[in-house]
Structure 1
């Protein structure tokens, strides 16, 4: 399931956490990779998932390859195309990865709620 849209008006200032886990110079986990994994969970296809988030198939494939190489166990499993077509699904590790990432975002947002409210009040309205 993709993240729910914000309930604030389009011109309202918003704060978004951008959690990234790096390994050397590589971003192992980040918001784009999590969004792609969520789209794969929803659509069962790299092609459709990439289209749904405005990403090229090649970019999606490269991101998935990087995620799967940098994790101890792969986040996705794919079947080759054929008479009935291929597909991609999340592994248990992929499901856990999304859940942990979103929990970290949510807890950080909650823990910083008073400071976030004060910060957003400082931003001029458009």
Structure 2
């Protein structure tokens, strides 16, 4: 049986309210690399408004902000991922890895229960 390798998409739902998933993790990663919320949003194909809204949601849910930002102007603005943001991102990535490695047998077992792929026409 030839099935494509499944991808695990970790989605954590908290009562904060907060949903922390691969999109927000990627946004944090890009903000850290690019130093800009707008640049991170552009790279992900989202508007600055949407990227900023996601950052605000994360910042509001945690005890300390995940992203510090400064307004633009003559010198330009910028954003940095805080120590808490780095910890959240590290722990999220560890959970993804844990699911992939420890869950590999279960994922393979589920794959054996799938219908066979359709024959090419």
TM-score by length of 2: 0.84
Q: How many angstroms apart in 2 are the aligned matches of 1:38 and 1:88?
A: 12
Offset of residue 125 of structure 1: 3.1
Unaligned runs of 5+ in 1: 1-10
Q: CA deviation at 1:87?
A: 0.6
Q: In structure 2, the residue corresponding to 1:83 is in which secondary structure?
A: coil
Question: Alpha-carbon deviations, 1:6-38, whole Å to 9, x = none?
Answer: xxxxx82413132213115x2242222111111
Larger radius of gyration: 2
SS of 1:78's equivalent? strand
Provide the alpha-carbon RMSD of the alignment. 1.8
Distance, in Å, in 2 between the alignment partners of 1:19 and 1:87 is 28
Aligned match of 2:89: 98
Q: Residue deviations 1:52-71, cap 9 Å, x none?
A: 11111111111100100010
Q: Distance in 2 between matches of 1:22 and 1:125?
A: 37
1:36-88 Cα offsets, whole Å, 9 max, x none, are 11111111111110011111111111110010001000000011212220010
Is 1:50 the counterpart of 2:41? The answer is yes
Give 1:1-126 correspondences, 5 Å limit.
12-23=4-15, 26-123=17-114, 124-125=116-117
